Structure 1
Amino acid sequence: MKKIFLLILLCVFSLGFSQKKKAKTKTKAVVEKETAIIYTEADAENSSEARVIAGFLKQNPNHPKTDHFKRKLMDIIMATPSPTESKPMMASVGKEKVTPKADVNKSLASNTSLKSAAPARTVNYASVGGTSKKSEPDEHGKKTAALLTHIFNNDISDKEAYVNVKNKSKCNMEMKISGKKNYSLIIPSRSENYVMVDKGDYQLSTKVCDSPYTTVKKIDKDIEIALNIGE
């Protein structure tokens, strides 16, 4: 009887150890890379996103194709529905600083020289709550207006910064940014998303293909964070 009991106990222990070992092998280290974004002429030429073209113009004010890219940027802005056309249906975390499209156009016009060559970064406006197809154009218009205002703003006292997160893994992820205000970013696999946050200290946490990632950062400027699973 004792032999049978010991045999059962040994089998249970072996099974538990094997499962624990398998669980450990599934969890890999998350590799983080924090960088500033540099836009190239090819990026601006091939992109249909206002943030990319505006970033290139800000970084390259004396480029020979500046006028071409300004026209392209204005076309994109004019094609974006005004955030005042209807009430938004997406609730965002914290207070939003929304600039009407007309103000963005004035800001762009007043920055035709674009003398400042400070690097601009890629970013996105995070929001939480119910969304619908009807609300997407309005929210996109708000994000575009806020983004362009931020990019062309040379005021060093600007209290906001953009954080762009690149998900280079094969798994979808949700990034939680917790601090003086809380933000949430859904980032599909092999994609990116961005959020505008109040400058300050934040804890960033997510799971990359079941591997936990947590870090604390002082966000006082625009940054980009790329996440992937280590080999």
Structure 2
Amino acid sequence: MARVFDHLFVTEQEDMDTWRNMLRAPVEWLPWGSDALRLGSANPRRRHDLIRTGRQPSDWEDDLSSALACRSRQLSFQGRPPFFDDATENERALMGYLSDAKFSLSFSNLVSPSVQTHPTREYLTGRWTDALAAGAVVAGIPPCSKSVRALLWPEALLDLGTVNRSEGLEVIARAVREWTPALARLNYLRSLEHLDWRWRFKKIADALGIRPRPLNTDLIELSQAIDSLQSYDTVSPAAIATT
């Protein structure tokens, strides 16, 4: 079966050696991404301090309880966004909610396991990349992986160091007090530079030796969006304290 492949792309750097040992074909890293260009945001006015999406550790699972815990610390909380059957509508709605939040809650599968997650291998998913493309900081416990270290930037993550909600909210409350719109703009810019799916499609197209016109058009627009954001005379926000 391995002989039928002439090129393989994998989403996690840790998996590359395994596949290279199995195949004669080239194996390259093609990490997870997001539609930062079309659905991303640098929104400077965000109504919610914290949003919850997807699976969470038991302490964070009940949205009503989390909302009350946040309110006691003068934090605004957005629970699970509504789900739509239409995939395009669902993604647009999710990105809209994320672009209205300063921090998005996500935990690695090793500290927040579920039936659909791998029991031993950590990995990056769209919960991180979509939140960052929307300008939010991802709070929680990130995957400890080469992909995260290579792909993300210091301001992208707020490592809570715990799944305990009370302890985590103390860290988040301090970070909210230090949050500025420049942080949302920085995360959006870095997402355009590093996370947009078009960079992934370009890598595949290069491997195939093709130059799709729609992709080239989008890449020009993507580069223009990056240049426009870089034109701001902005000092990068200081890394958020996690202690």
Q: State TM-score, norm by structure 2.
A: 0.26
Bigger strand fraction:
1
Larger Rg: 1
TM-score by length of 1: 0.26
Which structure has more helix as a fraction of its residues? 2
